[in-house]
Structure 1
Amino acid sequence: MAKRNRGWRQAFSVYVQPRVLGMIFLGFSAGLPFLLVFSTLSAWLRDEGIALSVIGYFSWVGVTYSTKVFWAPVIDRMALPGLTRLLGKRRGWMLIAQLGIALGLVGMGSSDVHQQLQQIALLAVAVAFCSSIQDIVVDAYRIEAAVPEYQGAMAAAYVFGYRVALLVAGAGAFYIADFSDWRTAYYAMASAMSVGIVATLLVAEPEHRSDQQAEAIEGSVESALGVDRKIGGPMKLIAWFSDAVVSPFVEFFVRNGKTGLLILCLIATYRLSDITMGVMANPFYLDLGFSKKEIAEISKLFGFVMTILGASLGGVLVVRFGIMRPLLLGAVMVASTNLLFALLAVSEPSLMLLAGVISADNLSGGIASAVFIAYLSSMTNSTYTATQYALFSSLMTLPAKLLGGLSGRVVEQYGYESFFIYAAVVGLPAIILAATLLALQRVARTDSHNR
């Protein structure tokens, strides 16, 4: 980027940009519903004496988040009568989703756990569905509302708001329930959605630029499929599917060529080390002999502060150096901090050492997350922002979650020290791919300069 020569002071000034500040409140709105249909809901049900087997079934609500890629094309293409004209393409969907979440939470709070458990389950699915829509639209808004060099800062602001919301929906809901009851807690959480609603009404709708190359690709794909819009009926539906679902894939590879495969491989492997290690982190702390209170205090205090600090630093690094160099740095840091856990595994239990390792892990994770979100954002085309980002985010987590499922077996057979070394090693593909793409970018820039 031509803007890499910015000084550090000027780079940090990105956080006073109105749209960057606005992302804090939209991030809060996105994070608030998550725990309310997962761990906080589980605590409420158990507190009311619901069987663990029944509570376990409620985890299936999470499937709604994992399948959001299927309705992202609809959100990218479908206009909401009245609202789209009044608020715009993104803010209209955002408002509908936020109102749906608030109403769903009120409904859950109004339901009797013992007499209307099925109703609570259906309302939880509805809240998760609306929340997944909000995630899609907020991601699309974040990408479209700022230039690429500000995407790291937008991501950092989003992470900060999201993390605060997790504290409110977790510890905050528990405090309210303890002081009053769970019904009041869910009513309070529903009212907290007003933060997102007000932010949606105040922020400006981003500019939606048409891409002539994307339009040409859509025409080519329709022609290849033998679609004729003029016939109507089924042909019109096939044409819509072609433009909304098939063309985003085709456009990505037309734009990136053979490098597109390397990019997809990087997206699929970048979180491998982080997620693989994360599955075993809390069992590891407990097996070392630390109490749940000590783990909670250190992970919440140091974890929250260092994650926010890391995400903020990641945003500044993107402004200062572009995306690719901080992306490589994040991959190296995440893999390296797993080796600190291996050191912790062979050391005498120490709260100071635990705090240091958790701090380093969350700092590197915060940097990597903000920069990686900026990278994914830069890979989308403005015509298919929501669809392509939803595809990238699904690809980002699926391989990591599948590999993470083997974590327990590795620990059982080889021990924690070997496991954390293994978790560091699985981060090598991301480091190699990031370095390769950085080198290709430099070659392309040199060729362009020589011309």
Structure 2
Amino acid sequence: MFFLGFSAGLPLLLVFSTLTAWLRDYGVSRTAIGFFAWVGITFSIKVLWAPIIDHLRLPSLIAGLGKRRSWMLVSQLGVALGLVGMASVNPQLALTEVALLALWVAFCSASQDVAIDAYRIEAMDENYQGAMAANYVFGYRVAMLVAGAGALYIADIASWSVAYLSMAALMGIGVITTLMIAEPNHPRVNGEAEELQNMWVERLLGQGQHSRLKEWFIRAVACPFIEFFQRNGRFALVLLIFIGIFRLSDIAMGIMANPFYLDLGFTKTEIAEISKVFGFFCTVLGSFLGGIFVVRYGIARPLILGAVMVACTNLLFAQLALIGPDKTWLALVISADNISGGIANAVLIAYLSSLANKAYTATQYALFSSLMTLPGKFISGFSGIVVDAQGYAQFFIYAALMGLPAILLSIYLWRREKREWVGEEPQPG
């Protein structure tokens, strides 16, 4: 799981913050760089094709690997080929080709995420899922360090083409791992879930013979969403809105981080050392603290803390924009940003896991994780326009204000949970 986590985490920054540093280094406008954030929407809509990966077996030679491993292998090879293509293109001469290749890498990477999540859930029983997830996350974070700091170091010493070719070669770690592991057993749908599926197939298609495609769509795609809304009622809409806006402030500013550092006057090596390496350990610390807070205080109150911290750190970025290239201030801002992001992300993952029905864990979790990033990715596409028009300081203030709805909804969820807990308490006498 560590090596599969590494394979899953490596492509993310190569089509996000590392890519923006490359584009800015080649003189691409901030407005154009902002639109590249929409490449990340691919990760936010993977739920659309997750049921296909979950149920469809690939044909031909790789079919012998099994359903999970074959999808993982195809996705990993697709990522590697896309990175090789990006390494061979000059953004100054062919920006559209860079965007299309980045989109391809993001699509293959998101597909790999779906396949690995399904493998992780099926490969081991519930008692080992915590260890599986922990190793996966650790590998993912190490890969982000390599794709962030590592790629910047290589680009500074050699070139961006060499950096991306090196990252393509490192995808071989995932390929080798996929070829070495065993295909897991695929559990059958449990009785409760099957009963729900049969009811909706009969209700929507009637009795008798049905189109296999229509029946598959209802069972694999529609029923996980139907179950979620049946279980939560109208409150399901509040939950989905909350999931969509919780990381809005954080994601909206992320696309402009590396261009911001470069425009302030920091070198790529300084960015790698402070933002990536130092930031990596701060993120790990934040994730560790988030886990402790959930165990000690439950989920609701740490959600409020995470939402407040993420919004406030954007104000520190605004202050850094006014101060200039001060490495001490950069370290302070990075530590605050990564610790708060680590806390918020760890608590949110715990919250999303608590919302998923185990009968539909893969599809419902894909829905939550997709929705978690979609609004932020869309809005961040306009970030370059705001920076060009009003400057970095004003942009980061706007990003901080975007965090206010998440803070208010976090407080609402905490108060609602508190009312439900009081209502369940036995009354005296």
Amino acid at match of 1:139: D
Q: Does 1:163 align with 2:138?
A: no
Q: Does 1:441 align with 2:417?
A: yes
Amino acid at match of 1:74: I
Q: Does 1:292 align with 2:267?
A: yes
Q: Secondary structure at the match of 1:424?
A: helix
Moved more, 404-413 or 243-252: 404-413
Report the Cα offset of residue 366 of structure 1: 1.9
Moved more, 152-161 or 76-85: 76-85
Report the Cα offset of residue 189 of structure 1: 4.6
Give the corresponding residue for 2:202.
223
Give the corresponding residue for 1:138.
116
Q: Does 1:259 align with 2:240?
A: no
Report the Cα offset of residue 383 of structure 1: 3.5
Q: What is the TM-score of this pair, normalised by structure 1?
A: 0.72
% identical aligned pairs: 51
Paired residues of 1:217 and 1:250 also in contact (CA < 8 A): no
Q: Does 1:375 align with 2:351?
A: yes
CA distance, structure 1, for counterparts of residue 135 and residue 312 of structure 2: 26
CA distance, structure 2, for counterparts of residue 151 and residue 444 of structure 1: 33
Report the Cα offset of residue 141 of structure 1: 4.3
Amino acid at match of 1:292: T
Aligned residues: 413
CA distance, structure 1, for counterparts of residue 272 and residue 163 of structure 2: 25
Q: How does 1:118-197 map to 2 (within 5 A)?
A: 128-142=106-120, 153=134, 156-167=137-148, 170-171=151-152, 174=155, 186=165, 189=167, 191-197=169-175
Report the Cα offset of residue 177 of structure 1: 6.4
Report the Cα offset of residue 282 of structure 1: 4.1
Amino acid at match of 1:222: V
Report the Cα offset of residue 73 of structure 1: 0.9
Report the Cα offset of residue 445 of structure 1: 4.0
CA distance, structure 1, for counterparts of residue 101 and residue 381 of structure 2: 29
CA distance, structure 1, for counterparts of residue 104 and residue 360 of structure 2: 25
Give the corresponding residue for 1:214.
193
CA distance, structure 2, for counterparts of residue 158 and residue 322 of structure 1: 26
Report the Cα offset of residue 224 of structure 1: 2.7
CA distance, structure 2, for counterparts of residue 326 and residue 258 of structure 1: 25
Paired residues of 2:356 and 2:364 also in contact (CA < 8 A): yes
CA distance, structure 2, for counterparts of residue 411 and residue 85 of structure 1: 49
Report the Cα offset of residue 26 of structure 1: 1.7
Report the Cα offset of residue 273 of structure 1: 1.0
Q: How does 1:79-90 map to 2 (within 5 A)?
A: 79=57, 90=68
Report the Cα offset of residue 362 of structure 1: 1.4
Cα-Cα RMSD: 4.6
Paired residues of 1:252 and 1:260 also in contact (CA < 8 A): yes
Q: What is the TM-score of this pair, normalised by structure 2?
A: 0.75
Q: Does 1:239 align with 2:218?
A: no
CA distance, structure 1, for counterparts of residue 383 and residue 104 of structure 2: 32
Q: Relative to 1, partners in 2 of residues 1:414 and 1:72: Cα closer, same or farther, differing over 3 Å?
A: same
Report the Cα offset of residue 204 of structure 1: 8.4
Moved more, 318-327 or 83-92: 83-92
Paired residues of 1:276 and 1:407 also in contact (CA < 8 A): yes
2:56 to 46, 70, 78: 78
Report the Cα offset of residue 170 of structure 1: 2.3
Amino acid at match of 1:353: W
Report the Cα offset of residue 240 of structure 1: 1.1
